[in-house]
Structure 1
Amino acid sequence: MTIDPMAEVVQLLRLGIRFSKLVECSGSWKIHREGTGDPFYCTVLDGRCHLTTGGQPTTILQAGDFVLVPAMHSILNESPDGPEDGTTMEPIEIGDGRFRVGNVDAPADLTMHIGHCHFASPDANLLVQLLPNVIVAHAAPRLAILMQLIWDETSARRPAREIVLERLLELMLIEAMRSGGEMASARGLARALADNRLSAALRAVHARPQHPWTIAEIAEEAALSRSAFFTRFSRIVGVPPMEYLLAWRMALAKRLLCNRELGLEQVAERVGYSSASTFSVAFARCTGVTPARYGREVRATSFSFVPPSPP
């Protein structure tokens, strides 16, 4: 069976939506938001604007463009001719899920579909570092279709709404990573999978996480020398090979620990540890809690309801 590392990471992140809204802007305007580190996406339906996120270079967006920020800590969005005094504005709600910025009586110069999400995975911090800081896709019709479907689903109250949204958001993340046009120099999993040598190594590791991998063996999968592989992997993925392997094993272990049917020895074996004791030491070092305690805590809270944040 062929293993797809990108699909595995996306599924394990468990992307969910907090809220989605349609924003119309007119005249000169500027919006600044501090984020919580959660995912943010934006697609421009009409018009142009400037977007700056987390100290990254400013991006010029126009109709058909899409942006995804896997971990948004700050965002500055403004018109091409921002306010001379630099004053930021607050969006005004004008309807169900619709907001206005700038002159409410003037025609809109820009229309955007904006969404704020969250990762339900307990390993979000580990996995997000495998994604680019910012994904930009210019003239992305497939993403535009997905955005419309997400907007329709968030606006309605249909049966199985949460499941449908989760699948649509997974598709959005995968499509963004596949079509992002400004990731040639961005570190992360998507760029590594576009590299034939690193892709072979990643697929091997994901196919057999239980194997007692050494860096020499992983380098052999990539048909590279150990030193060349280490340098190339670290530069493109953003973390050293064995650190990546450890993070992936811990992510898999957390998922397996939530399964009541598996004992500690079985979990340890499936993620590449020779005994439950060596696995427990490694898990506690990475997470700060023992595997047994982690499993109990997650199962106790797995059915708790967390209401979405307001826009």
Structure 2
Amino acid sequence: MAAPLSAPPPRSAPLRDPLTKTLELTGARCVLSRGLTAAGDWALAFPAPGRLSVHVVLQGAVWLLMQGVDHPVRLEAGDVTVFAGDRRYTLASDPAVPPIDALPLLRATTDTFLRVEGEGRETVVIGGHIDLNTTGKDLLLSVLPPLIHAGATTDEATAACWLMNRTLRETRSDAPGAAFAAQHLAQLLLVQVLRIFLTRVNAETPPTGWLRALADDRIAPALRLMHGNPALPWSLAELARAAAMSRTSFTLRFKEVVGVPPLTYLRAWRMRLARHTLWLEDTPVSALASSLGYSSESAFSNAFKRATGLAPRRYREAVRAS
């Protein structure tokens, strides 16, 4: 592992919340899809969104059926669901109702809400997509389960409902600063989505990855060290000590939870930070190398080229041009 170019920050320095830095890398932007009001007997089939999606039930109740999920899920007013985005799904008044394709209905109107007329209690649902940049997709979509469901009584669902309502108002508003407000509300919504996931890790079996590690009491301290001070030449012994485990036990548990060995993860995290900085900032490559713990610009450049196929300066030119 490359040694730092200059004296590293003290190991006792306060560490940033790993989730905070990760969220900064995702480029989260909320795009609200149209809402749905429906009554009577109905069922609408939707294609896979292809993006991280959030649905909130504002009124009534609805059944959710998702490809690959064994049982229908009943959603009540105030419930929130999060989809990783790679599965088809159906919303219905009853799981037994044969679904019809929702896309022709959506294309036939530009109204904010798609309306399905019928008798009886009306259900109101609003949905939105959280767009992510390439780094965000890499960090999040591979580690989230296909479906997360938060009941209305949870703090995370309450906050997500408010944020969805507020974002809907801002995106439909001509008020000064509406676009700025909507952008930041999307980031707050993503925080709530990830918190919903973290509170349910023990109840479900999520994929391996860094997000699962944040919810693992043994692994999280080591992850905070790597995310908080990536320039430090962390050794396996130091990371295992933070986890209060032997090096062998720590390595095995880290690989089981995250999917890769600890030092492999550390190198990959540094490369994610490097790609983000090269894309958005004009930081000199030599300074970037130092900030990520490499002994020289050439050592960093060689590592970066192995990871991405391009030298840092070429990568910066290519990603900005595209």
1:186 aligns with 2:206: yes
Are the structure 2 counterparts of residues 52 and 226 from structure 1 closer, same or farther at C-alpha, using a change threshold of 3 Å?
farther
Whether 2:114 is the aligned partner of 1:96: answer no
Q: Specify the alignment match of 2:28 in structure 1.
A: 15
Contact 1:53-1:73 at 8 Å conserved across structures: no
* TM-score, normalised by the number of residues in structure 1: 0.84
The answer (yes or no) to whether the contact 2:64–2:75 under 8 Å persists in 1 is yes
Tell me how far 1:5 sits from its aligned partner. Answer: 0.5
Provide the aligned length of Structure 1 versus Structure 2: 296
What residue is the counterpart of 2:11 in the other structure? none
Query: What amino acid is aligned across from residue 100 of structure 1 in structure 2?
Result: R
Q: 1:76 aligns with which of 86, 89, 93?
A: 89
Instruction: Name the structure 1 match of 2:138.
Output: 126
1:308 corresponding residue in structure 2: none
Q: Distance in 1 between matches of 2:42 and 2:32?
A: 26
Shift of 1:67: 1.5
Q: Find the aligned partners of 1:243 and 1:163 in 2 and give their Cα distance.
A: 37
Gaps of 5+ in 1: 302-311
Q: Is 2:32–2:168's contact at 8 Å kept on the other side of the alignment?
A: no
What is aligned with 1:42? 55
Cα offsets for 1:76-134 (capped at 9, x unmatched): 12325245545434444666321124xx25456421110123113x3134312564223
Contact residue 163 and residue 189 of structure 2 kept, 8 A? yes
* Residue of structure 1 in register with 2:222 after alignment: 201
- Identity among equivalent pairs (%): 31
Q: Deviations over 1:115-163 (max 9, x none)?
A: 123113x313431256422332111212211111111111113333333
Given that 1:28 and 1:83 are in contact with CA atoms closer than 8 Å, whether structure 2 keeps it comes out as no
Among 231, 236, 239, the alignment partner of 1:210 is: 231
**2:80 counterpart (59, 62, 66):** 66
Which residue in the other structure is 1:135 paired with?
Answer: 148
Match of 1:156 in 2: 173
Normalising by structure 2, we get a TM-score of 0.81
Question: What SS class does the counterpart of residue 33 from structure 2 fall into?
Answer: strand
Give the letter aligned to residue 14 of structure 1. Answer: G
Q: Give distance in 1, aligned partners of 2:196 and 2:211.
A: 10
Deviates more, 1:183-192 or 1:266-275: 183-192
Structure 2 unmatched ranges of 5 or more: 1-13
- State the alpha-carbon separation in 2 of the partners of residues 157 and 239 from structure 1: 47
Is contact 1:219-1:229 (8 Å) kept? Answer: yes
Cα distance in 2 for residues equivalent to 1:130 and 1:225: 29
Displacement after TM superposition at 1:214 (Å): 3.1
Instruction: Please state whether the residue corresponding to 2:126 is helix, strand or coil.
Output: strand
Query: Structure 2 CA distance, aligned partners of 1:284 and 1:128?
Result: 24
Shift of 1:288: 2.6
**Partner residue, 2:275:** 254
Change (3 A) 1:222 1:129: farther
Superposed displacement of residue 178, structure 1: 2.0
Of 174, 183, 197, 1:166 maps to 183
Alpha-carbon distance in 2 for matches of 1:220, 1:152? 49
Contact 1:54 1:73 survives alignment (8 Å): no
Q: Deviations over 1:154-182 (max 9, x none)?
A: 11133333332222111112122223454
